Amino acid sequence: MEIVYVYVKKRSEFGRQCNFSDRQAETNVDIQPDPSQAKNFIERDPIDAAIQCASDMSEHEVNTERFEMENEGVNHLEGGWPKDVNPLEMEQTIRFRKKVEKDENYVNTIIQLGSLMEHCIKQNNAINIYEEYFDDEETADVADEPPSAKTINVFRDPNLIKRTATHLSWHPDGSKKLAVAYSSLEFQRSSKDMSYESYIWDLENPNKPDLVLRPSSPLMSLEYNPKDSHILVGGCYNGQIAYWDTRKGGQPVELSTVEFSHRDPVYGMIWLQSKTGTDCFSASTDGQVLWWDIRKLTEPTETLVMDISRKGVLENALGAIALEFEPTMVCDEPLFSLRLQDNGRFIGCGSKLGTVTLLEVSSGLCTLQRNEKNLATAMFERETKREKILEARHREMRLKERTKAEGKEEDVKVETEEEKPEELLARVQKEFFEIIEAEIRRKERAAKLSKAQEKEVTDENEDEDPYKEE
């Protein structure tokens, strides 16, 4: 089995070129003559020397030892577990790890192994002749340039029937991969031949997906686990929740049951920063937020029901419905999803036809410039002082108004009783029916007026007709 890894790096990332220049000669060592060695000097007389017209040439051959190469592969299986622990059961492995970590010898063993591993790792270190030793002292100057972004890669939906890239998620470890959820957002427009697959793309290879995810229904949202980069959780169009382990392939490890899932498409997934890293939240337009444990997706851990009239707030907050705007420099298609990399250097844009465009922003937008922190801090302090001054001014004005009002109300005090709920309901109903009757009368008057105007126009036309029989 041949294992090949192609490492691609831009010339601009190699570092600065070594420039050599002329300088004055420097004396490093000065050895003075020894007079005692003069007695060992012998003059040669005569001296014979051979001279020829052709230049001297020599030839030298070296036969080095041949370097032999072999291709080897390693098939690593889960091992080291006791017989009573099933490595395929996550709960058993987690319970066993916690038990081992509480052992006193565990820490000492890890420290000893860490020192050995550190020694082996340092053997592969190389000297960086361009290393900056004083980066923390002062930030590098950034050239004044207008903010811009350039296209690095374009990842297109490999299916013939194009779908919308509904959600993007960056790989938490180095952001070298991008998970994209594909689905059709047009209601009842999907055909039978439309694929349900979503993909994980490698930034270095835009021609073929790195991994294919095969859900039971098109994915509306997809999120990497920030603690375990091999685990992803996704929300489907039919309301189900599924999670994948990339080490086990593209089929979901577990899928939530339909009766305990959402009733509408799942537009948002959020991982909970818990100790185990297995809890997540899902949000849908059915007005529910469900708390899930991926180790048990048969039913949610908790259900948070929201007001269905405010579901639009949830959609906008979780990025469920992205605004469609006129295409500009990114691509010629409407954009429906947007995700920024953790370090702020790359931006992924998903379009309606499933095209994901990778943009690299200019250094002026993502690099901390000189005195930027100080300027921002000064601005916040200035705004804080301004806010305190305005609050004090408003407090003073309210105090003056309250003093005036109290002076006027000292002579006359009117006690008002609160309106009962029954009286309030009756008054509102009466006002409502009065508005309806007024609107009906207005429409009747408008209809009579329009009929009268039509009759007048008809009479005028009959009077002006020259062919009318007298």
Predicted confidence (pLDDT) per residue in 383-395, tens digit: 888 888 888 888 8
Q: How far apart are CA 262 and CA 268, in angstroms?
A: 12
For residue 227, the tally of other CB atoms under 10 A from its CB is 14
**pLDDT on residue 455:** 72
* Cis previous bond, 46, omega within 30: yes
Listed residue (310, 359, 311) closest to 335, CA to CA: 359
**pLDDT on residue 311:** 42
Tokens at 65, concatenated: 């030892």
| pLDDT(381) > 60 | yes
Burial profile 169-183: b = 16 or more Cβ within 10 angstroms, e = fewer: bbbbeebebbbbbbb
**pLDDT on residue 315:** 43
| pLDDT(328) > 50 | no
Mean pLDDT of the chain: 78
Q: How far apart are CA 115 and CA 100, in angstroms?
A: 20
Q: In terms of CATH architecture, what is 149-366?
A: 7 Propeller (2.130)
| pLDDT(267) > 80 | yes
**pLDDT on residue 299:** 87
Listed residue (217, 220, 170) closest to 196, CA to CA: 217
Write the CA distances from 130 to 97, 143, 399, integer angstroms.
43, 20, 65
**pLDDT on residue 211:** 93
Over residues 443-458, the mean pLDDT reads 77
Write the CA distances from 447 to 176, 309, 436, 454, integer angstroms.
69, 37, 17, 11
**pLDDT on residue 197:** 92
Q: How far apart are CA 417 and CA 415, in angstroms?
A: 7
pLDDT band at 134 (very low <50, low <70, confident <90, very high): low
Listed residue (387, 388, 386, 328) closest to 359, CA to CA: 328
Q: Name the CA radius of gyration of the chain, rounded.
A: 39
φ/ψ (deg, to 5) at 183: -165, 160
Over residues 188-205, the mean pLDDT reads 83
**pLDDT on residue 244:** 93
**pLDDT on residue 210:** 92
pLDDT band at 359 (very low <50, low <70, confident <90, very high): confident
Long-range contacts of 125-132 (CB under 8 A, 24+ apart): 128/15, 129/15, 129/18, 130/15, 130/16
This prediction has a pTM of: 0.46
**pLDDT on residue 283:** 84
Q: Decide if 302 contacts 280 (C-beta within 8 A).
A: no
**pLDDT on residue 470:** 44
CA 94 to chain centre: 29
Name the residue ranges covered by the structural domains of the chain.
83-120, 149-366
